[in-house]
Amino acid sequence: MFQTISTRVNFYIRVLRYYKCATNGCNATAQMVEGIDKLVPIKPHHITSCPSQKKEDTIIEIEEWLKEKLTDRYWKFNDLWKEANKKYPEAECFINVIPITSKLKKWRSTKFPVKAKDMAQFINQINNEEYNLILNYEEHKVSAIPVEDTDKFKHVLLYDSEFVQQNFENCTHLFIDATFKSRPSLSDCLQLLIVMGVLSGHAVPLFYVPMSRKTKAAYESVFNQILRVHDFKNVKIIMSDFEWPLRNAIKSCFSIGTAVGLEDYDVDKEISTSEEALRVEKRQRNALKRAKKRLDEHGIQYSCSKLT
């Protein structure tokens, strides 16, 4: 059944009547020219598939499910649409992807902030009470603590306080490393620092720290904040890579007996890259020899073609 939505008279004094399908959920439109006893469809694919009441109810159910999921956590639209098709196999036939994507964006914007462009905007968002529930998951909560170093650069400490307190009170080993290949897409985020502890024989991430600098001062500010929220008093060994600012910050912040570099660190590749970029082969070779001596003291065996 169609209902009139507008009427106009064209140049040839013909009355054109425009119609829209009266069924809720159907976007079918048509026009009728006076004197011609039939509808001229504008969107025939809608007219031939006007939804029945059952189909209309299914569409409403699917949309309500999508809306609820979007307020549950931050979904990528493609992933959510795949989940919808698994739960409702008829979704792909009943719902057009393009219109529903527009609705998904609108629904998600009521729950989640816009994507942050830099560290300052990210910190403002996580401090906004309106978005506090974003950090909740399965009866737990991720705490987000802004950290500012002595050079006034900003970083963010992300961790589950309850999980750390309950499972790592007697933690004896920590693994600390930073990656620039997998980090938040913020303009001034240089790396993502990860601090892991050992639980039941497995290395488990405890702290994620998006950082805007890689200096000793930046690392020290982060480690001092970590020690304020959890006292790793039983830690005996901390392993990291051979980045000097990171290792020096570990030594200055943690009261531990041993700090060593990772056994499988690709020393050969690191030195080769430095030689090509900086042309300081002799200085790098001497630094490597000193590092090898320290590794030998801890009984760590490795090979490097630069020393052969």
Instruction: Summarize pLDDT for 253-291 with one digit per residue, the tens.
Output: 887 655 555 544 444 555 455 545 555 566 666 777 777
Give a yes or no: residue 114 inside a domain. no
The domain total for the chain is 4
Q: How many CB atoms lie within 10 A of CB 123?
A: 20
Q: Are 259 and 250 in contact (CB under 8 A)?
A: yes
- 162 and 228 in a single domain? The answer is yes
CA–CA distance, 273 with 51 (Å, rounded to integer):
64
Instruction: Judge if 195 and 242 occupy the same domain.
Output: yes
Q: Is residue 274 a part of any domain in this protein? A: yes
pLDDT of amino acid 207: 95
Please give the residue range of the domain that contains residue 37: 2-47
Looking at residue 6, its pLDDT comes to: 46
CA angle 133, 134, 138 (to 5 degrees): 80
What is the mean pLDDT for each group of 10 consecutive residues in the chain (308 residues)? 47 59 64 55 49 69 84 78 83 74 80 83 81 72 88 91 88 88 86 91 91 92 93 85 85 72 50 51 70 66 49
Can you tell me the distance from the alpha carbon of 271 to that of 93, in angstroms, rounded to the nearest whole number?
A: 58
Are 139 and 258 contained in the same domain?
Answer: yes
| CA-derived radius of gyration, the chain | 30
Q: Are residues 138 and 150 in the same domain?
A: yes
Place of tokens 């992300």: 158
Using alpha carbons, select from 252, 140, 254 the residue that is nearest to residue 197: 254
pLDDT digits (tens, 9 = 90+) for 74-88: 778 888 888 888 888
Domain end position, chosen among 39, 74, 109: 109
Say yes or no: 296 and 183 in one domain.
Answer: no
Backbone angles phi, psi at 261, to 5 degrees: -85, 160
